[in-house]
Structure formats: C-alpha cells, structure tokens
Amino acid sequence: MIRLDNLTLTYDRHPAVHHLSGEFCAGSLTAIVGPNGAGKSTLLKAIAGLLAPSSGKVERSSLKKGDIAYLPQQAEIDRSFPLSVFDMVLMGRWKHIGSFGGAGKADVHAAHHALEAVGLAGFERRMLHQLSAGQMQRVLFARLMVQESAVILLDEPFNAIDARTTADLLALVTRWHSENRTVIAVLHDYEQVRARFPETLLMARECLGWGATETVLTPQNLLKARARSEAWDEDAPHCHQAVA
C-alpha cells in the first residue's frame, strides 16, 4: 500500500501538488486525471521516489526501490542513446541481475518472452531511434513486464499511440491488475478511465475526488477541476492551504 500524508510538492518554492492525503491500496488499479498542469506527473515522480516532498510524506510501507517500476512520458526518454531493443528490455532485469552480475538464461528468456508478448519478436537488434512511437511504447511495456514489480507507475502511457497498440497495452495493464500488482496511471481519456480503471484520483494541484471512478468522474467534479486549474495563480507564494 502507498499512503500520501499531507503531501506537498514544489518546484522552486512554487506548489505543484498541495496537501494531498489518501492511499493506493495494494492491488488497486487507479487513474490519475486532471487538467494540464494539475500536478499529475509531479505526483507520480514523488511516488517513484524521484522527487522529495517539501512537506508531508509518501509512505511506501515495506516496498523497496526496486519494487516500484516507473514509465515516464515518452518526451522524457532520450532515444538517441545507442541501445538495442533487446538490451533496453534486459535493463529492466537489473534488480534480478545485480550490479556486477551478467544476464543469466532466465533474464534472457524473460526479455524474449516480453518482446513476444508485446508483439515485437524479431525487433531485438533494432536500435531505439529506429522505432516508431508506438513500437517504442511496446518496448517500454516489455521492460516493465520483466521488472516484475509490485507497483507500476505509468505517465500518459497511451499518448500518441494508435488504437490497436493502446488496446494491446491496456490488456497488459489489466493482466497486471489481475496479478494483484498496484497500477497507477496518469491518463487524459475519461472514457478509457471509466471503462478500465475502477479507482480514480481527480486533481487540480489538490485532490478534488479520490475513490470509485463512477463517483469521482462526475460532470460537477470535472467542471470544478477545470475551474480550479484556470483560477490557479502560477505566482502564488509557497504553499498556502487551498480551500476545498
């Protein structure tokens, strides 16, 4: 379970996430939604341990760093690095391989199996910069598969991805959920969220709703989120408590 306790996250003292409290239960499948600039990616980074809270905390109970897999937005991934598809997927096995060991049979098998599962068998030797956006996303999902993490964080995983690839990758998300992993995804497609994600956190820097998707994604809440984000002052001083 991951618990947020009065969590506030800031950049250069500007608040991006405000006094957020609640919990992601073990095995839950949650969408984080909200307008642009609502703090969704910032929250995901804090859960991944990549951004320190300016106040409050993220409690990860007994989870260790390797138990949390994080998929950033595609724009944040440098594809010019000379790396093959196979090596990229194999890198996901680092916690099994360790710092000094080489990849064993089981690791190589897991990487091949994952590439097959995402429909990229035969692409092993391709370099990352030779892939389309959709193929790259399949590679990143294959890497998540071999990580075998208890918690999987996905930041806009289906952005600019065609319907077929989205359906394939959504099926993987559903499989992870059935395997009792905790999956948290930042998404913008409300229909997708309603159809596939039982829990939703709606935020506009602060929490506007967190719970069963049908009770959170109401027209009133969505209007409130839009109004809240439009009204937000980018130059607001450090962390005044927002009024609910």
Ligand X SMILES: Nc1ncnc2c1ncn2[C@@H]1O[C@H](COP(=O)(O)OP(=O)(O)OP(=O)(O)O)[C@@H](O)[C@H]1O
- Summarize as ranges the residues that interact with ligand X (CB under 6 A): 11-12, 16, 34, 36-42
Minimum distance from residue 207 beta carbon to ligand X (Å): 13
CA-CA distance, 41 to 50, in Å (whole number)?
11
Minimum distance from residue 133 beta carbon to ligand X (Å): 16
Token pair 């039982």 in the structure block, residue = 198
Closer Cβ to ligand X, 12 or 78, answer by number: 12
Tokens in use for 52?
Answer: 């320190």
Minimum distance from residue 43 beta carbon to ligand X (Å): 7
In a 3-state reduction of DSSP, which class is residue 134? helix
Closer Cβ to ligand X, 68 or 120, answer by number: 68
Minimum distance from residue 154 beta carbon to ligand X (Å): 12
Closer Cβ to ligand X, 94 or 190, answer by number: 190
Closer Cβ to ligand X, 113 or 188, answer by number: 188
Dmax over CA atoms of the chain, in Å, equals 56
10 burial via Cβ count (<10 Å: 0-12, 13-18, 19+): middle
CA-CA distance, 244 to 83, in Å (whole number)?
48
